[in-house]
Amino acid sequence: MNAAFEVLKHVTTATITTVLLQKGIRKCWMKGPKPLVPTGIRLVGPAFTMRFVPAREDLATPESWAKPVSTRGAIEEMPEGCIAVGDAMGITTCGIFGDILTARMFRRNVTALVTDGAMRDKTGVIASKLPVWCDGVSSPASVNGLTFVGWQEPIGCGGCAIFPGDIIVADDDGAVVIPQNLLEFVAHEGAEHELYESWVVSEVEKGVKLPGLYPANDEAKARYAAWRKQRD
């Protein structure tokens, strides 16, 4: 699995969405999550899921933060290398995490946080060094609009179904989810797609017209095969 992860670090989220179309999967790019600080870095990891529901006054209180089922409790269960995915139902009027929580996640070697909700304490979150993909910044605490109800169960984030252990890839274009059983396929096909596109770019720079080149006709496929053989 680690080898596939290394391959995916060189495959764009745009390419991954194209490759997953071959398997009929269209809802894999999460609407909402964007890098809090674009860096050009691409991160890969298994999903650790967290689920919020609309706030209910008797449950969504500051006291709830001390309960066993809490965002604090979830953070202590996150395995090293995971990407935490928070289903905030697209609610951005409160922040699901702030600087102290992201600092703890960074200390636990969590790879990143992805959510269709918002963050609070932006300056502190950035200082914590945890990479974050979110849908904005909001000062109110999570309990102003959300109730945290559990972790490591199926969730919906940004319009995508995400199961614990699915593979998350996040870059400056956003975040995508790869079903666990398609990891090897996406890594292999994605790497091949990236290589072909690099050749296409070189052809375009030479003045070659796109029809027949992208997508490739038989003549383009033959020229690409010859280029790849020479390259290898």
pLDDT value at 1 more than 70: no
pLDDT bucket at 202, cuts 50 / 70 / 90? very high
What's the whole-model pTM score? 0.93
List, in sequence order, every residue forming a beta bridge with 21; answer none if it has no partner.
Answer: none
The mean pLDDT of the chain is 95
Sequence-separated (6 or more) residues with CB below 8 Å from residue 71: 50, 65, 96, 97, 101, 142, 148
pLDDT bucket at 208, cuts 50 / 70 / 90? very high
Name the superfamily (CATH) of residues 26-178: Ribonuclease E inhibitor RraA/RraA-like (3.50.30.40)
pLDDT value at 60 more than 70: no
pLDDT value at 195 more than 80: yes
> CA 125, 115, 12: angle at the middle one, nearest 5?
95
Sequence-separated (6 or more) residues with CB below 8 Å from residue 211: none
Burial class (CB in 10 A: 0-12, 13-18, 19+), 54: exposed
pLDDT value at 100 more than 90: yes
pLDDT value at 204 more than 70: yes
| Separation CA 205–CA 183 (nearest Å) | 33
Query: Which has the minimum average pLDDT: 38-42, 59-63, 67-71, 220-224?
Result: 59-63
Q: What is the pLDDT of residue 57?
A: 83
**CB neighbours of residue 69 within 10 Å:** 13
Domain parsing of the chain, residue ranges: 26-178, 185-231
131 prior amide bond cis, ω within 30 = no
Per the model's pLDDT, the better-predicted residue between 113 and 60 turns out to be 113
High-pLDDT (> 70) share of the chain, %: 99
